[in-house]
Structure 1
């Protein structure tokens, strides 16, 4: 038995919560994973896990073993990532999860720069508005906007972005241009439901440096960034979108920024990843590149 492989499998089962999820992320049959853990327990002559049909939990001995194995794997990962070859030429597949707008408008246009430096890294980028479970689904890292709710993960702020309230010239010609946030109440607006919230957010503004949400009755509510921008460009209503996502449309005259004298709050952007025991050289260089990417952009620089 490959003891290191068995240790990694054991840690993955504990953190995924079930053999089925762990087997999927390890790309191995459930039965093979079960036999591997059973053989580990036989060799150690101790029961590590309590098994049920729905989940697994640690035995007292398993909890002690888990903590020690985690430290050991962390040391091994540090040794591997510190080798000159790994530092000079990191390689392998890197799985990244990102929100739709950040993935499409920030990451993808800049990836050519990343590949010029690290041509041997293969990136699998999953974009969407559903927040992936990094451990259970086997992602190396994720880029999150807003509050980070995931426990037991490392969160590093890499940037932030502001919001711009805007509408098309045709919309403003038909409905008039608002001069204060309160005037938005009488105009058609569009709301977007974040996947992790379940309700359409208000249009936030800052009053005396304090955030206050303007509650609006939206004529249209969507749950996707692309649909949200499309609705604004179709003159269906006013939108309040991340500035980086509408700057091209504003530059082309397709959207007009509004209420620029009324401050709107910024939102932090974090890269999150499992603790250092999984932070290989390819993940390290990708995170470093992300930090530089956001820092170069005036609309995304950390505030």
Structure 2
């Protein structure tokens, strides 16, 4: 194992906080990983890692060396990619928001993998902003405004959103003609995973954003149950149009206040600020941007 490979092993151990998980990620025997770190620490004359029974963490020297390794490895990969006339290859770990994955990304993956046969994808699903470094993820695809300053976001789409409710709900509470009429209405409240509070309904009025909090009997944290609650007649919801196209066509949901739409929902590829954008992540982000543009959601 050469010095660059030892750096890769060290970086993965720091990120995963585990020799075993790093070995699994790199598809190396645990003993090979352990020996690589022993050689590295001996050559540098410094202790880089603190080992406990529960986890591994970098020492002060280790953290400094980790930051330098990140820059060196990223620079090397970028330099090689600029001279290599080959398609990118290797493992790409991504985490996708569920409805975006099911409606857009996964159906198009066969074409992506046929075009880039050297790339192997590991896909996780979730709505939360995972700790990319600790969980060994290269990038995530999320809808919504970027809140975490430690992440770098590249916008790949803006999704049209609508306000809607079930016919049964509207028969009971009436079809609102303006924002003032919403005073007697209820909402299915979507809870922020960051704050735990209900997100307000949002409306664009003469080019300006207005927000409104409505009471509701049900609060949710997932996109699917949010839509299902609206279909069940539990209140108003605001969702990307693509998510309820079938329900609108079938009549189980009805759009309201179309002249006062919610702002478009940004969709972004996010990756750690501490890392340069790798060729594989850049390629995947380019592909996602083209995919959403062609889909016109």
Runs of 5+ consecutive residues of structure 2 not aligned to the other structure: none
The alpha carbon displacement at 1:82 in A equals: 3.4
* 1:154 match: secondary structure: strand
Q: Distance in 2 between matches of 1:277 and 1:202?
A: 35
Matches within 5 A, 1:83-232: 83-84=83-84, 86-87=86-87, 90-232=88-230
Is 223-232 or 262-271 further displaced after alignment? 262-271
Q: Distance in 1 between matches of 2:204 and 2:229?
A: 25
Counterpart in the other structure of 1:249:
247
Q: Distance in 2 between matches of 1:149 and 1:9?
A: 31
The alpha carbon displacement at 1:102 in A equals: 1.4
Q: Distance in 2 between matches of 1:245 and 1:78?
A: 38
The alpha carbon displacement at 1:171 in A equals: 2.9
Q: Distance in 1 between matches of 2:141 and 2:234?
A: 30
Q: Distance in 2 between matches of 1:200 and 1:122?
A: 38
Pairwise CA RMSD? 3.0
Could you list the per-position Cα deviations for residues 32-62 of structure 1 after superposition, in whole angstroms to 9, with x for gaps in the alignment? 6454323211012223345667663442x54
The alpha carbon displacement at 1:184 in A equals: 2.7
Q: Distance in 2 between matches of 1:203 and 1:249?
A: 20
The alpha carbon displacement at 1:291 in A equals: 1.1
Compared with structure 1, are the counterparts of its residues 171 and 62 closer, same or farther at alpha carbon in structure 2 (3 Å cutoff)? closer
Q: TM-score, normalised by structure 1?
A: 0.82
Compared with structure 1, are the counterparts of its residues 115 and 29 closer, same or farther at alpha carbon in structure 2 (3 Å cutoff)? closer
Q: Distance in 2 between matches of 1:195 and 1:209?
A: 28
Q: Distance in 2 between matches of 1:204 and 1:284?
A: 32
Runs of 5+ consecutive residues of structure 1 not aligned to the other structure: none
Counterpart in the other structure of 2:7:
7
Matches within 5 A, 1:38-53: 38-49=38-49
* 2:170 match: secondary structure: helix
Q: Distance in 2 between matches of 1:50 and 1:115?
A: 40
Compared with structure 1, are the counterparts of its residues 154 and 58 closer, same or farther at alpha carbon in structure 2 (3 Å cutoff)? farther
Q: Distance in 2 between matches of 1:37 and 1:144?
A: 35
Give the number of equivalent residue pairs: 295
Q: TM-score, normalised by structure 2?
A: 0.83
